[in-house]
Structure 1
Amino acid sequence: MSVSKSPLTVHVAAPRGFCAGVDRAIKIVELALERYGPPVYVRHEIVHNRFVVDRLRGLGAVFVETLDSVPDGRPVVFSAHGVPKAVPSAAEARGLDYLDATCPLVSKVHRQAQRMVDNGFHIVFIGHAGHPEVIGTFGQVPHGTMTLVETEEDARALAVANPEKTGFLTQTTLSVDDTAAIIEILKQRFPAIQAPKSEDICYATSNRQAAVKSITAKCERMLVIGAPNSSNSRRLAEVADRLGVPARLIERAGDIDWAWLGSPQAIGITAGASAPEVLVREVIDALAERFDVTEIEAEHEPEGMVFKLPRQLVA
């Protein structure tokens, strides 16, 4: 005898999942494997998603944390998060072929940092300590020319030597709301602080946070598909939580805590910028095994952003 399933409306946020920078980074590894043959070495996870990393590993990519682990004569790819200047310099010194998969929007922040320091400014960098993007950005400029601020409390306690020659930049994957609050404090305390010419938080991060906000009012729970070390994915869960919708960050369907989910009538699903759509489908299929699912995808404007590949791979 079949058991009737309780109805569940699943609001699927859009846009969600892969952004142009992640898509480009993965394609660089795939094309490098075609061009050079395996193994191709990748310094750090190419993007923060275990499913993606495991698939590339299966194709012949080898993920390492330092250049010392890359044997002579093999190509190495730098991750989408960016690396300190010393890393490509060390690769060149060893004669290694390298491909830079740094997201172009992160590279833009790197160039801004260099320009600010060249113009005599000290940089206040808003970001999360230890994140690869932060490490890479700090590695673009001389030691002591950049100060990390993580919280509003940090911004209130910050002392600068010369407010007239101070600027700020931000990590690209931060909470839009948190960052705006920190920037407001910095501007109040240091009215002359120089802002970046354009927003540093990337379009994909902003769009995915806005997409979560647009569906939360209809949802009792939110599932965010992404890795625990993915900054932009964690921010999506925080956005829902702050709007009063309990959220869980999961890597795939097997991570769903069914007791926590309970028997809601409507939930939301989104995916961080490093999470492939196949994992979204996997989660919805798992829900459909327990509920009578009605899936509603949010209306949205397609992003349409595409970044060029490195010349070495398209020549």
Structure 2
Amino acid sequence: MIKPPLTILLAAPRGFCAGVVRAIDIVERALALYGAPVFVRHEIVHNKFVVDSLKAKGAIFVKELDEVTDTTRPVVFSAHGVPKSVPAMAAARHMFQLDATCPLVTKVHMEAQRHHAEGFEIILIGHQGHPEVIGTMGQLPDGAVRLIETVEDARRISVLNPEKLAYITQTTLSVDDTRDVISELQRRFPSIRGPYKEDICYATTNRQEAVKSIAPRVQLLLVVGAPNSSNSQRLVEVGARHGTPRSLLVQRASDLDWSTLEGLSVIGITAGASAPESLVNEMIDAFRDHYDVAVETVSLREENVAFKLPRELRETSTAP
């Protein structure tokens, strides 16, 4: 059978960011140093494939610390960050805790604490219920941080003192949407204080810009990622807004509905910041079964960011 030709534009950068690499490395390093089990509070990153692979190596994932059955074992906090109450509870139970919070999320936490210490009312731009938002709001007393999501929220919010007002953002938002929300806040509150360096992380920005560069050229954009991954969902939206007729989030190649994937000549593939490259390769191989595939990498820029592991994991002689 002669297969129809298909060009796959592979967006770069894509996939794992430095914060995700660090978080996974923390769990794997803890397992190597201290043996199984290692407990992890919540999904270490939002990707089922990653979570399942760590489970197979001896990680046990729990929703809350009271589910940890052996407090002598290491417990890891996810890359999204946690409220201050979580490490406080771990300390009260004398747990050996390892914090895998992305350093760029920690930066936002520190900004919030600094603003609060200086008497500023704080507005957080983010998605309600997302673990990163819960963790950021949990750095300060209840009521100290006000959450908004949209331009309309920014238009309606009332504040105590426009001269003592600051904003921070979730790190995985749509760059374009967030810019519009910030513009409305600045229009209403000209004195509002923002971060010294924008909170949306380099990886989120780079992956969105890479999608924008290929979106007008493709009939279909596939984003490899998880439904609960904020940055992956934003990539789908960016593709749809910048010229792609169809923009889909797919976890695995086995999820593809081939009856809807006929007659294609050019598609784009990218991956969210918590999706491993092996899933991208799996997706390309699946298309090779149906098409005569030519892969073209469209590289926007190189990434060379790396974050250090916690000190406890760099000192191999440390014991919990």
- From 11, 14, 33, give the equivalent of 1:13: 11
Describe the superposition over 1:126-171 as per-residue Cα deviations: whole angstroms up to 9, x where unpaired.
Answer: 0000000000000001111110001111111111111101100000
Aligned counterparts of 1:275 and 1:265: Cα–Cα separation in 2: 25
Residues 1-315 of structure 1 mapped to structure 2, 5 A cutoff: 3-71=1-69, 72-245=71-244, 246-315=246-315
Aligned counterparts of 1:144 and 1:38: Cα–Cα separation in 2: 40
Shift of 1:7: 0.5
Question: Size of the alignment, in residue pairs?
Answer: 313
Aligned counterparts of 1:256 and 1:16: Cα–Cα separation in 2: 20
Shift of 1:216: 1.0
Shift of 1:294: 0.6
Of the structure 1 ranges 250-259 and 269-278, higher mean CA displacement relative to structure 2 is found in 250-259
Aligned counterparts of 2:306 and 2:167: Cα–Cα separation in 1: 27
Describe the superposition over 1:169-194 as per-residue Cα deviations: whole angstroms up to 9, x where unpaired.
Answer: 00000000000000000000110100
Aligned counterparts of 1:95 and 1:181: Cα–Cα separation in 2: 45
TM-score by length of 2: 0.97
Of all paired residues, the percent bearing the same amino acid is 60
Aligned counterparts of 1:151 and 1:313: Cα–Cα separation in 2: 40
Structure 1 residue runs without a partner (length 5+):
none
Shift of 1:301: 2.5
Aligned counterparts of 2:153 and 2:160: Cα–Cα separation in 1: 16
SS at match of 2:19: helix
1:267 is matched by which residue type in structure 2?
I
Q: Is the 8 A contact 2:210 2:299 kept in 1?
A: no
Aligned counterparts of 1:300 and 1:186: Cα–Cα separation in 2: 31
TM-score by length of 1: 0.98
Structure 2 residue runs without a partner (length 5+):
316-320
